[in-house]
Structure 1
Amino acid sequence: MRYKIFYTALVLEAIFCMIFALPQMQVSGMFTTITAFPFEQIGWGLRRLSLSGRAGNAVAVALYLLLSLLPCAVFFILRSRKMLCRADRLLPAMSALLFFVNYYMVNPGLLQTGVAGSGKWMLGSTFYAVLCGYLALRMLHMYTSADVRKLQAALKILLLFTMTAFVFAIFGQGIGDLLSAVEAVRSGNSISSVEAAVFGTAQELTLTYAFLVFQFAVKAMPYSMDLVAVFFAVKMLDALAQDRYSDAAVSTVGRLADFCRSALMVTIAVEMLFHVLQLLLHRYLYRVDITIHFPVLSIVFVLAMLLAARYLQEDQRMKQEHDLFI
């Protein structure tokens, strides 16, 4: 029950990503890229407020300063509580970066880039990159000398965060790439009514669209499997926190290892099937995508889970023998 709210948030994230991936939802000046959220919307609101009059402009400037100084506020709060570490020196720099990001989000016409339409994407991505780097360094400092329970709690937080990343990869980036590929095939193979009268109707693209959906499923499958694996991993951490020698803990680790092994086998088989079918039907397809992928990290993770399961089973056996001896 305690994870119910989090899983509901994941569903809402998936719905939001799917809606945002639709081309008609990309409203110029307000919703252009998800990496610019929420800075783009804040900039749009501050600009409208600033143009409303003197009072609105004063409020907009005050909000601009307050929003940009939020990392500095966090720095002084940590300082007052004597919780500063070396990583927190990035907070004032993040405030300076926020001044830059918010200013150009309010005035997007002033940001000139080599690629048209990439300005807001660059601004948002840069800030999120710095933010993620700061959070990683902060967590390394917090948990370097932590005990087992704190390390388990930190790992659980990271696992839950990865679930949000997997949801975005499937329903945000994956569906966005699928719609872009479909639009590219459609626009690249469309003909005018005059050309259709002379040369006949447009080429049949149904099979190509089907393979694009198949390709999306192939790319989304590892992330879907990872979502389930992380779910089992969170359950495993809960069981280990209660009693790592219990049957529940050992069985949970075993189920996680078995699922990871089966998921990896299914993913590899589906990817092989996709490439073979694409080769057999390539003359009927108007878009072909061949990706050579060797799942090194997935294999390492599966072996690590199998090794952890064996260690826990051995520890449980030794503890049972010790208890019987006593």
Structure 2
Amino acid sequence: MRSIFFSYSHADEALRDQLEEQLAILKRQQVISTWHDRRILAGSEFDPSIDANLQAADIILLLVSPAFLASDYCYEREMTLAMQRHERGEARVIPVILRPCDWHDAPFGKLLAAPRDGKAITQWPDRDEAFLQVAQAIKAAAKDTGASPVRSARSDAPPIAPPAAAPSSFSSGPRSSNLRLAKEFSERDKDRFKLETFEFIARFFENSLGELEARNQGIEGAYRRIDANRFSAVIYRAGKSLARCTVFVGGQFFANGIAYSSSETSDSNSFNECLTVEADDQMLYLRGMGMAHYGGNRDSKLSQEGAAELFWAMLVEPLQQR
């Protein structure tokens, strides 16, 4: 069984939980065991516990994000020690890119990152697919005989001290690693997520229209913010309108949704697709009604990036057809 250490910023704890959920089958099959600082028992010393588990790990996951790079503890301490062990062949380091950031020039930038192409997990339309790719990379590393840590051959190497534990009747006994609890999301949380997603989609469209215009001769993009809850977008070729849309929040029949209409409209009761905010036991996400693309997005748990990509694909589809 390979031991896995999570090096991460607490700002990314929810994403770490989702990754650990994807690793559940590997833990059930006793392919891996996992450890992170939330496993430290009350009364234990923080630094020695982390150092001992980091030194003992076979695979070290660097959960990379702006918060990770900004954390002196994550970057200067955990990452430095992880890379030293990787370079000595004692462990394998896998960078897992959680959120977009400038990580390529970091010491671990030379390593193959997950998910595929180092695309940040939060930028995937379906986060489950991204986490699955990470889990598959971890599985491959765990089963690779070359991933077996090459322990120091020096006979005088000091043994790794076990983590300090609180004096209790269960601190040294067996316990489950399945300690993740279900999270609850209030109506306020869902409303905030909906509005934040709408603002993200608005910025996404404005930037994408500008980039589309810059890359394609004869193409012009027009973005117009109508009010706090609505914007429109139009794409022209040689001055002729080829595609247009309106994206807006709420409506008589979908107050908790974000709707897309393939026309410029002030009507809030007709649309071509609508995304509603839903939640599972770990995160908030968006789900489409399936009106676009024959329902292909109905079963997907869309991130903010995924929602924006879905609406953008609907806008540019007429320009991509021959």
Query: Which TM class, normalised by the smaller chain length?
Result: under 0.3
Give the number of the structure whose residues are more often strand, by fraction: 2
**TM-score, scaled to structure 1:** 0.27
Higher-Rg member (1/2): 1
